[in-house]
Amino acid sequence: MTEPTKLVLGSASPRRLELLAQLGLAPHAVRAPDIDETPALGEKPRDYVRRMAHEKAEASAIAAGEVVLCADTTVCMGRRILGKPADACEAAAFLHALSGRRHRVITAVAVRSGAGIRLRDVVTQVRMKPLSDIEVNGYLATGDWQGKAGGYAIQGPAGAFVPWISGSYSAVMGLPLVETAHLLRAAGVSVWA
């Protein structure tokens, strides 16, 4: 009898762990790779996210019988990448820039197995309602902005700021479930087994 393929999550994100559970999956291990996530000069947001997911997968050590899942999410306005804010001031600047406007959230997923790396990306359009200073300051006080692309998390208190999305809600959270399940099945991981 063949050993089942072991899934390794190449991310420290608790949200990605929760989203994998929605697919009936619990990773065998969690190993977040340490890479430089600085965008290249003039790099387009979609190219950046795809490169990050691919580099994370390449940097992840896997043993025989293991498959690693890595992902990267960014928020962008036009060609401007709004990564993880360095501090509350930058988070406030991001939120004020997003206030009352549409933006894109792009998530790329990379799955690496012995057969190589498979990659998919998902683009979701998101509209944020106009935000008052009281709302921005109240949100910043929650600390929920920390470590979040664009300075917000749709599944947390900032969900009250988002009246409309077009695309994948789970991708905005950090892991598009349909595409992830497809990539994992292609790599031999049993989803809902």
Q: Judge contact between 5 and 188, C-beta under 8 A.
A: yes
Is 36 part of the annotated catalytic residue set? no
Indicate the length of the chain as a whole number: 193
Residue 7 neighbours by CB under 8 Å, 6+ apart: 20, 25, 27, 28, 66, 67, 68, 69, 184, 189
**Of 36, 47, 72, 133, catalytic:** 72
Q: Judge contact between 10 and 27, C-beta under 8 A.
A: no
Written as one letter, the residue type at 187 is A
Active site residues: 72
